[in-house]
Amino acid sequence: MVKGLYTAYTGMINEQRRMDVLTNNLANADTNGYKKEGLTARAFKDQLALKIKDYTDAPNTARGLGIINPGVKIGESYVDWTEGPMKETQNTFDFAIAGRGFFAVDYTNKAINIERDTKEQQDIMYTRDGCFTLKILDPKKPEEGYLTTQDGDFVLDNKGKRIKLDTQIPVQTNTTGELIQDGEVVAILGVYDFEATEYPDGRYSYDNLLHYGENFYIPVDENVEATALEFPTVYPGFLEQSNVSVVDEMVNMIATQRNYDTNQRMITTIDGTLEIAANQIGRIG
């Protein structure tokens, strides 16, 4: 009977984590290039079946099934890399990547926080958000501009260098990421990709990237290398929107809340049963 309390408890914890993921997705429904996240879960019977069929131990030897937890296994989070819809902005420095790939950004930590505890620490990060701008660093040289994000981080070219442009000359762009001034290619927008796991239905996942902030990604370690795409497809004047469907997330949120309430009622019911067993059954009249 008491095990039922732990079963319901694990269910509540799992639904709570699922709710955290759903609310984060909804909060970023309007964030450019955001990829929604999900949470896996596996029931006790599935865990038991996997353990029984686990032949990694020595054959023909007695072995236990581990700690029996008759509840839900708290799952892992994952990222849905489905491409989001494209929005036309007609802005010169807005770009959207078609297919796989990321823009590379020379990111500078602006303040001390939990994940980056060193202010002004620099990292190369990757994003699908192509909302850029031209920034003048030296007021004495107004003709020198650098392509940056809206937060002031430098955008890198296909050789990992900062992109420098003449602010007094119009900039033309094309679908290969070339930035053209006075008829000459002055820089090529860097589009980088990583090794990914591909599935038969066409989906893919990057197991070597960690989500950072709203729409940045960073390699899990120094051994993960980014490769500059030789022939990327970049749409100038467009931005990739978030792939979050507000309607789907709201429906999932309602289902999650109901599952949480069901587990909560189970705990209340079992608690009432235990109270009767402790206070009434076996009472000597």
Q: What is the pLDDT of residue 21?
A: 93
pTM, to two decimals? 0.79
pLDDT band at 284 (very low <50, low <70, confident <90, very high): low
Backbone angles phi, psi at 203, to 5 degrees: -70, 160
pLDDT of residue 127: 95
Is the pLDDT score of 98 beyond 90? yes
Which of 98-102, 171-175, 202-206 has the least mean pLDDT?
Answer: 202-206
Judge whether residue 95 has pLDDT over 80.
yes
pLDDT, residue 66, reads 56
Average of per-residue pLDDT across 237-265 = 94
| pLDDT at residue 137, rounded to an integer | 86
pLDDT in tens, 13-66: 888 989 999 999 999 999 999 999 988 776 666 666 656 665 555 555 545 555
The pLDDT confidence band at residue 248, using thresholds 50, 70 and 90, is very high
Boundaries of every domain in the chain = 2-79+245-279, 86-240
Arithmetic mean of pLDDT, 240-253: 95
**Segment 222-251 mean pLDDT:** 93
pLDDT digits (tens, 9 = 90+) for 185-224: 999 999 999 999 888 888 889 989 988 887 899 998 888 8
Percent of the chain having pLDDT more than 70? 82
**Per-chain mean pLDDT for the chain:** 85
| pLDDT in the model for residue 278 | 76
Q: Which of 64, 70, 72 has its CA nearest to residue 2?
A: 70
Q: Out of 38-42, 57-61, 123-127, 137-141, which region has the weakest mean confidence (pLDDT)?
A: 57-61
Q: Report residue 112's pLDDT band, with 50, 70 and 90 as the boundaries.
A: low
Identify which has the larger pLDDT, 243 or 66: 243
Helices 246-279 and 2-27: crossing angle in degrees, nearest 10, is 160
**Which letter, b or e, does each residue of 77-108 get, where b requires 16 or more Cβ atoms within 10 Å of its Cβ?**
eebebebbeeeebeebbbbbbeebbbbbbbbe
Q: Which pLDDT score is estimated for 74?
A: 66
Return all residues near 105 (Cβ < 8 A) that are at least 6 apart. 124, 125, 126, 127, 149, 153, 154, 155, 156, 216
Spatial distance between the Cα atoms of 73 and 40, rounded to a whole number of angstroms: 9
Taking a C-beta distance cutoff of 8 angstroms, is the pair 207, 197 a contact?
yes
Is it the case that residue 231 has pLDDT exceeding 60?
A: yes
pLDDT on residue 277: 78
Per-residue pLDDT at 142: 85
Q: What is the pLDDT of residue 39?
A: 83
Question: What pLDDT score does 6 carry?
Answer: 79
